Structure 1
Amino acid sequence: MSDDFPLGLLFGLLFLLICLSAFFSSSETGMMSINRYRLSHQANSGERPAQRVLRLLARPDRLIGVILIGNNLVNNLAAAIATVLAIHFFGEVSGPAIAPLILTIVILIFAEVGPKTYAAIRPERIAYPASLVLEPLLKLLYPLVWLVNAISNGLLRLLGVRNIDGGADNLTRDELRTVVHEAGTLIPHRHQAMLLSILDLENVTVNDIMVPRHEVMGLDLDDDLEDILARIRTSQHTRVPVYKGDINNIIGMLHLRNAARFLSRGEVTKAAIVQEAREPYFIPESTPLHTQLLNFQKQKRRIGIVVDEYGDVEGLVTLEDILEEIVGEFTTDVAGLNQEIHPQEDGSHVIDGTANIRDINKALGWQLPTDGPKTLNGVILEHLESFPDGPACLQIGSVRMEILEVRDNLITAARCWQPVRRPVRRG
């Protein structure tokens, strides 16, 4: 055969076949390695190369079929030509043995490892141009591809694989969290924190972020009218609950903007206060934050009264409280502005026993447990499993605590700090 065809032509055909083998090998890796979410975004933005690749990936069995048919075809032709050349140079005895060895090394380096490595690193640079060839090639070889796929898909069904289509690449919540973490500088750290906070809304209930009932500032209609008016004038809140005798007997929510109506008239009565109050909106304490956020939007509300399973008031929660779970506190120095956390000169903090554990963790960057009691007093009592007779020391996780004051069966203050870990010197 070498006598019938010039050696230059045979070497040229062999070089062309190796290049085609590199094309098919890199196309396979590029197509399979491309970022599906970036591809979908580009396709939805109208980019035609991305749309072509997305159409090919919709049926990965057909895509792989046409690539492997082309790859095996050119490799077999390359092996035949390489054998003819080897016989010409090394004889009929040694040639057939030397040809596979040399061709394997050449294909491995120049048509497999090299192209596939580049395609894995830069999949879009390979996949987009390759789609121009693979899409018409798939139509041209469709009968052969269909036959090969029919046999291979039948074998896959025997192994329990039913869905051959590419399908949708849906992410779980944990997988989406990993994607956000690995975004690096592509998403600013502040935005990453907000995205992760949104994902955590389902795991947090209104009971975790509510203002507890003992901290709720309301208007008791049993108080003197002058005391009620003084509270209205000095209130730092825009909405306050109105109740009679006990906070469990809430009559309504008063917006201080509406209070200006009866304050301007001069003659104020308790009946006028009740008339301006809006019907209260009650929230079960176990409601997840993402559900409550939608409920606030649906009900056109900004504040709700949190109640337990018996209907007793546990506290109140506002729309701003939920938004702070997403975007963070609206203040820059939480520990400095939080009246329950008092920084000390030695680096420790004196914290009120009624302080919320989530607020402590946010303000100080600690990891105190939040799956049990909600306050520092409750966490300490759960850890001790008994009520302390007086000052005591303990450690919860990495935080050390010293009980400073106990009053009326309540730990009212504790000094807390995290020991500084010093590196251990060896040698």
Structure 2
Amino acid sequence: MSLDWSLIGPALMIIGLLMLSAFFSGSETSLTATSRARILQLERDKNPDAARVNLLISDGEGLLGSLLLGNNLVNIAASMLTGQLFARMLGGEHSVWIATAVMTALVLVFAEVMPKTYALSNPERFALFVSRPVLVIVRVFAPIVGAVQAIVRGVLRLLGARVEGPVLSAHDELRGTIALHHEDGGVVKNDRDMLGGVLDLRELTVDDIMVHRKSIHMIDVERPAAEIAQEALHSPHTRLPLYQGEPDNIIGVLHARDLARAMHDNDGDPSTIDIRAIVREPWFVPETTEVLDQLNAFREKREHFALVVDEYGALMGLVTLEDILEEIVGAIEDEHDIAVEGIKPEAESTWLVDGVVPIRDLNRALDWHLPDEEAVTVAGLVIHEARTIPERGQVFHFHGVRFEVVERRRNQITQLRVSASPD
């Protein structure tokens, strides 16, 4: 059987078109799957291919349109040539169906699955390799792609579809990426919590993290200096608000270092110290201040302590630099802290939780997702959801968690038993 050389040319053209199809398919997958953060770092390291990749993915719609246009052109051309080739080889009406089956198998294996599989496993390497020819293709096809985009957007608008803007903000994308890597085992829980804490700073206000006024250790400035000094030196806190007359009337903040210096100057006799002379001016901030803004304010003023007031000037609580840092790294305890066990494991998947424990701390400790938009503490969440102040022994099911009121003092829930439970 002699070789028909007239069939070699079309066969080689089909193979070449399949290779081009594989190039378009792999390029599309690699350029959409590549890590923009890694490519940006490579660009900063003066990698010219990385600069081209960033330029390409910055216009995702134009890139996708050009690659799809090229891929469809070569696939259609390859299909037409295959049909003609099989018609010449086999003749008859069945040649078209045979050509379709053969071409489908070739495109699926060699022009779609194989290049996309490799591109998914090596997205950055593939994207850097094809960046130069793809950039040329995008520029050549730009007029056609632009016209196609205009038609597509016009049709989508007529159908009432939204086509402008991303669905997720940059912060939401970061959160999703961190959560994904945590689920895949690439980021441990502590690192995930720290990264999430940094992203949360702009969404929190100081009233979300402050120490409530009920828990503030304050001292009456009218008391004898010796009593004030003794109480301050026995306190676990280095800064103590001083009030005159009533607790809302804060006149200054006593720092343990200033007190120690004054006692040294007075030969250790606290009774002769002029307390008013060594107190520092109190710094008041609104309760609506964003935590990130407060962190920047602490840095600018070189202060670590601020008193929080509401819109009427009433004292609500206090916030410290340590409170903000704990939102990022978790609880910070030193040798002077009083350990408070706010969350105690009682049985398997059951915990005793103090009512004043912040919802964010409970979520972080147990890896839950209780909402904290309407309440700050666990007790506040139960009261908000129950729409009443529960009695001891009452049980509620909210957000996939079972809450049982264990202790109540007056109108305050002091302890709850919590466990995971379906709604």
Shorter-normalised TM-score: what interval? 0.7 to 0.9
For residues 80 and 318 of structure 1, do their structure 2 counterparts lie closer, same or farther at Cα, with a shift above 3 Å needed?
A: closer
The Cα RMSD (Å) is 4.2
Query: Do residues 29 (structure 1) and 29 (structure 2) align?
Result: yes
1:159 pairs, out of 139, 155, 159, with 155
Query: Which of structures 1 and 2 has the bigger CA Rg?
Result: 1
Aligned partner of residue 311 in structure 2, secondary structure: coil
What is the Cα deviation at residue 233 of structure 1? 3.0
Query: Do residues 306 (structure 1) and 308 (structure 2) align?
Result: yes
CA distance in 2, matches of 1:68, 1:382: 51
Deviations 1:375-406 (A, max 9, x none): 84995699583696xxx4212441322337x4
Query: Do residues 257 (structure 1) and 257 (structure 2) align?
Result: yes
2:49 match = 49
Query: Do residues 385 (structure 1) and 392 (structure 2) align?
Result: no
What is the Cα deviation at residue 192 of structure 1? 0.8
Query: Do residues 190 (structure 1) and 190 (structure 2) align?
Result: yes
For residues 18 and 240 of structure 1, do their structure 2 counterparts lie closer, same or farther at Cα, with a shift above 3 Å needed?
A: same
CA distance in 2, matches of 1:339, 1:420: 20
1:403 pairs, out of 382, 394, 407, with 407
What is the Cα deviation at residue 326 of structure 1? 1.4
What is the Cα deviation at residue 62 of structure 1? 5.2
Are the equivalent residues in 1 in contact too, given 2:395–2:405 (CA < 8 A)? yes
What is the Cα deviation at residue 12 of structure 1? 3.3
CA distance in 2, matches of 1:21, 1:345: 60
Are the equivalent residues in 2 in contact too, given 1:305–1:317 (CA < 8 A)? yes
CA distance in 2, matches of 1:350, 1:212: 18
Q: Which one-letter code corresponds to 2:221 in the other structure?
A: L
Aligned partner of residue 46 in structure 2, secondary structure: coil
Deviations 1:68-104 (A, max 9, x none): 5544554455345434532442237665664444334
Deviations 1:82-133 (A, max 9, x none): 3453244223766566444433432333223433344345433432222233
Contiguous gaps of at least 5 residues in structure 1: 422-427
Deviations 1:133-191 (A, max 9, x none): 3334556xx3xx24423532442453367xxxx99997344333222101233333211
Aligned partner of residue 315 in structure 1, secondary structure: strand
Q: Which one-letter code corresponds to 1:181 in the other structure?
A: A
Aligned partner of residue 247 in structure 1, secondary structure: coil
Are the equivalent residues in 1 in contact too, given 2:225–2:274 (CA < 8 A)? no
TM-score (norm 2): 0.77
2:340 pairs, out of 338, 360, 381, with 338
Q: Which moved more, 1:215-224 or 1:187-196?
A: 215-224
Figure out how many residues of one structure are paired with residues of the other and give that number. 402
Contiguous gaps of at least 5 residues in structure 2: 158-163
Deviations 1:350-377 (A, max 9, x none): 95x7x44548837974888753475849
Are the equivalent residues in 1 in contact too, given 2:390–2:405 (CA < 8 A)? no
1:425 match = none
Query: Do residues 206 (structure 1) and 210 (structure 2) align?
Result: no
Aligned pairs (5 A) from 1:123-162:
123-137=123-137, 142=140, 145-156=141-152, 158-159=154-155
TM-score (norm 1): 0.76
